[in-house]
Homo-oligomer: A and B are copies of this chain.
């Protein structure tokens, strides 16, 4: 049987043994969402899952299958719900999935769970799902569970940003299908990137302070990329990935008092 960190590739008895041996459990959360013409719809699922796999490799942890379908895309964050391909759940559906999956992990005996998010719009609904799961845990008199939660991009170091954005980092807000995600995809999944279709000369999105619903695509560049991915490279992707993985490993190790390999 394949040596694996993926829960879905283990037998139940192998998974059970590792949990009993103290393995941490990582849950990637993504979505299916337009990422311009040069990146696939699965970016937000692929990246956190891959980051989790790297993290798990260094910590002897287990990675659950990602929750693939995520929360509604917002224009300012991912172009909005008017793109073909973007496939989103209602908010209540989403946090109930998070709640149910966490409830099951707790039934399995998992007491240290890390949720790694790769789709910004999921954030508040993941927190709602965790809150509901912990409420039920309390009803079930399970009081020793800890759930950690993070976005992988919050671990990119300033030095890396300075390298990746030589003209200055304009902030995370418009980094949808832009330099960071394109670089990470070139690093991890180069055969899923088509640089020839990258919308190089689109202007970055310029949003007002407010939002309008129905949102449409009024302020979103036609490609769906919120800012150009110029400067994206596999090497930049490697730098970013290293920051994310090593930062997450460090924080998990410290928080849960485990030693990375």
Interface residues of A (CB under 8 A from B): 1-2, 6-16, 19, 32, 34-42, 45-46, 64-69, 71-72, 74, 81, 83-93, 95-97, 99-101, 104-105, 107-109, 121, 123-125, 127-128, 130-132, 134, 136, 138-140, 146-151, 154-155, 191-194, 197, 208-214, 224, 247, 251, 255
Looking at the assembled complex, report how far the CB atom of A237 sits from the nearest CB atom of chain B, in whole angstroms.
16
The distance in angstroms between the C-alpha atoms of A81 and B86, with both chains bound, is 32
Check A109 against B84 for contact (C-beta < 8 Å). yes
The interface residues of chain B lying within 8 Å CB-to-CB of A131 are 72, 81, 213
- In angstroms, Cα B147 to Cα A146, docked, is 33
Q: Tell me if B74 and A209 are in contact (CB < 8 A).
A: no
The 3 A-B residue pairs with the shortest CB-CB distance in the complex, in nearest-first order: A8-B42, A12-B85, A12-B34
- In contact, B212 and A255 (Cβ under 8 angstroms): yes
Q: Are B211 and A127 in contact (CB under 8 A)?
A: yes
- B12 to A128, Cβ gap below 8 A? no
- Minimum CB–CB distance from A92 to chain B (whole Å) comes to 5
